[in-house]
Amino acid sequence: MLLQAEGLFKAFNDTIVLNDISINVECGEVVSLVGQSGAGKTTVLRCITGLEKCDRGSIAINNKYICKTENGITTYATKNELAIIRHELGMVFQSYHLFPHMTVLENVTLALTDVYKVMPTEANEEAVKMLESLGLGEKIDSKPSQLSGGQKQRVAIARSCVTKPKLLCFDEPTAALDSALVVEMVKIIRSLAREKGIGILIISHDEKFVRDVSDRVLFIEHGKITREMTSEEYKSVIRD
């Protein structure tokens, strides 16, 4: 199992945000987590990526634990352990969070050269290949401010994928896209899962997008997973 999250519990002050949440994702599988705003979707993603600490529960990516509860005591990965686990993890944020002072190419190569210590020429080659595969070959010298919403998102995907993560998380990937770009995004995500074997976890409230992209759909309400559907079951519920 690529992602194994079990019994996640998280409260902010007296408000329970996650209540016994369990999610599994296999390599090459696309799993979507859907629910209303405030249901706890983003918090789940933030806990899985180590941006937030859950109060109880276990999260393991490729059998490496971000947190673990045993005998009522929750332990968390150290900074160094978390840094290693994050080599297997990528995240595409809703508002992309590209680095505005860098070009598209620099945005994509920076982690390769500075974190993974890849030689700059090799990093450039890798990044250009990745950007070209996402249709951004002509934009490598542009700054993020010169890109459309769809292009920014593809740069964010390239930036996350160039480090070859095993699990890629998407936070509301269609929130800023028009319908044509949503179709394109479905294709990109499906190919990342099928061709590269990346496990993908998406949070979204775009029903049609979720229907077209997912292998499995989980429903979250008030911090609890209330239902789970296969792609076929979900397709029978959500029609055009």
Partner 1 sequence: MGYLVQILDGLGLTVGVFLVSLIISLPLGILVSCLRLSKIKTVSKVTEIYIWVLRGTPLLLQIMFVFFGLASIGIKFGRFNSIVFAFALNYSAYFGEIFRSGIQSIEKGQSEAASILGFSSIQINLKIILPQVIKRTLPSIGNEVITLVKDTSLVYAVGQSDILKYAKGIAVRDATLVPYLIAGGVYLVLTYIITKVFESVERKVNYEE
Of 69, 91, 79, the closest CA to residue 22 belongs to 69
If binding is defined by CB under 8 A, does position 93 make contact with partner 1?
yes
If binding is defined by CB under 8 A, does position 157 make contact with partner 1?
no
If binding is defined by CB under 8 A, does position 89 make contact with partner 1?
yes
Task: Indicate which single residue of 44, 91, 118, 155 sits in contact with partner 1 (rule: CB under 8 A).
Answer: 91
Which listed range, 18-26, 31-39, 107-115, 202-210, lies at the site for partner 1 (CB under 8 A)?
107-115
Task: Indicate which single residue of 10, 41, 86, 166 sits in contact with partner 1 (rule: CB under 8 A).
Answer: 86
Distance CA 75, CA 56 (A): 9
Q: Which of residues 11-50 bind partner 1 (CB under 8 A)?
A: 49-50
| Long-range contacts at 35-43 (CB < 8 A, ≥ 24 apart) | 35/205, 35/219, 35/220, 35/221, 36/205, 36/221, 37/205, 39/220, 39/221, 39/222, 39/223, 40/10, 40/220, 40/222, 40/223, 41/203, 41/220, 42/171, 42/203, 43/10, 43/17, 43/18
Task: Indicate which single residue of 56, 64, 68, 87 sits in contact with partner 1 (rule: CB under 8 A).
Answer: 87
Q: What is the binding site for partner 1 (CB under 8 A)?
A: 49-51, 83, 86-87, 89-91, 93, 95, 97, 99-101, 110-111, 114-116, 143, 145-146, 159-160, 163
